[in-house]
Structure 1
Amino acid sequence: MQRLKLFLPLAVFVLLAGFLFVGLFLDKENLPSPLLDEPFPAFSLVTLKGPDKPVTEQALKGEIALVNVWATWCISCRAEHPWLLKIADQGIPVYGVNYKDNPEDARRWLKELGDPYRFSVMDEKGRLGLDLGVYGAPETYLIDARGVIRYKHVGVVDGRVWQDILKPRVEMLREEEAGQ
């Protein structure tokens, strides 16, 4: 019995090391969202461009679109910004959620780097982000024409993500809607 007690710390260590080792190989970009196939959360927020009249989630309905959570303090957001411009130039509606940011900094950012967003709401307190289950910026949601979240991407949208993940899903949704 005494010898068994000596091996107990070793057994605990091996067990914990095993869990950590398995965690190294998990897909870090595939973070499930409880909002998949649920309507985009209700909100009433003003846009960065004004006027001060708030927009709601109803403004997202009518066509397949991307909703991008971004901020000027987010280094990764700067890296993905050129791709959002390209996606918008391809006719894909892109809406923004400016997350926990200074509105003046955000307006300056869009003026300097270009504005891919049909509109970008100011989520200064992060309540919409909380309702979306945002882990941090950037995050991008694919919504269908009814405003239902169909996919969530955590991290930078770049050429690979657009071509291999988001664009095929957009095309699939278009086919589904055309078939209805």
Structure 2
Amino acid sequence: MKRWLAFAPLAVLAALALLFAGYALKRDPKIQPHALVGKPMPALTLPDLSTGQPVALTDITRGGPVLVNFFASWCAPCEIEHPQLMALNAQGVKVIGIAYKDAPPNTQAFLTRLGDPFAARLVDRKGEAGLEFGVTGVPETYLIGSDGMILAKHTGPLTPEAAEDLLAKAR
């Protein structure tokens, strides 16, 4: 009887491994949760990157459509998508940048080095705004309509095709 008890933790671990493996094999990693699409954008107030003054996100997204991009200086995919954000800015698309869990001096250096495509730069130092939006990882971009509704979400670096798809949903 005592020998069986010695193997009980191993049997439990093996059962859990089978359970998790079964879940992982049935899960499609390309499907991303879009829980807030079709719902109002969270009413948040975040500090401005340059001044530290509080800015209501609803005030700067009014008159949309607007793209809200969560990014970070420590995020390699954010660097990959940056030229696309610069291209959108050059086309006159209003993009709001939210620095997610990043130190403001690092964010400033990132934007100085790569260019600043944002109409407004806000700071989400603790990740609370990301939590409200349902951010699963940076970069993530949300399309906000003129009525403040979230029209679409893109997870991962924006490509020209993904940016066009987002903008098409605004028309």
> Please, what TM-score do these two structures have when normalized by structure 1?
0.78
- 1:76 and 1:156 mapped to 2: Cα distance? 6
1:63 aligned counterpart, secondary structure: coil
Is the aligned partner of 1:35 residue 2:36? yes
2:49 aligned counterpart, secondary structure: coil
Where structure 2 has 5 or more consecutive residues not aligned to the other structure, the ranges are 1-14
Q: Residues 101-120 of structure 1 correspond to what in structure 2 (within 5 A)?
A: 101-120=102-121
- 2:22 and 2:70 mapped to 1: Cα distance? 35
1:82 aligned counterpart, secondary structure: helix
Question: Could you say what the CA RMSD is over the residues aligned between the two structures, in angstroms?
Answer: 2.0
Is the aligned partner of 1:54 residue 2:54? yes
Which amino acid is the alignment partner of residue 166 of structure 1? Answer: L
Residue 153 of structure 2 corresponds to which residue in structure 1? 152
- 1:92 and 1:16 mapped to 2: Cα distance? 43
Count of aligned pairs: 155
Q: Residues 1-180 of structure 1 correspond to what in structure 2 (within 5 A)?
A: 20-23=24-27, 26=28, 28-50=29-51, 52-58=52-58, 59-163=60-164, 165-169=165-169, 173-174=170-171
- 1:62 and 1:75 mapped to 2: Cα distance? 31
Give a deviation string over 1:128-175, Cα, whole Å, max 9, x none. 011111111000000101221111111110123123x22322xxx33x
The question of whether the paired residues in 2 share the 8 Å contact of 1:30 and 1:153 is answered with no
- 1:17 and 1:102 mapped to 2: Cα distance? 37
Which amino acid is the alignment partner of residue 152 of structure 2? Answer: Y
Identity %: 37
1:112 deviation in Å? 1.3
Which amino acid is the alignment partner of residue 126 of structure 1? Answer: G
2:43 aligned counterpart, secondary structure: coil
- 1:123 and 1:18 mapped to 2: Cα distance? 36
- 1:139 and 1:16 mapped to 2: Cα distance? 27
> Please, what TM-score do these two structures have when normalized by structure 2?
0.82
1:45 deviation in Å? 1.3
Where structure 1 has 5 or more consecutive residues not aligned to the other structure, the ranges are 1-11, 175-180
1:33 deviation in Å? 2.2
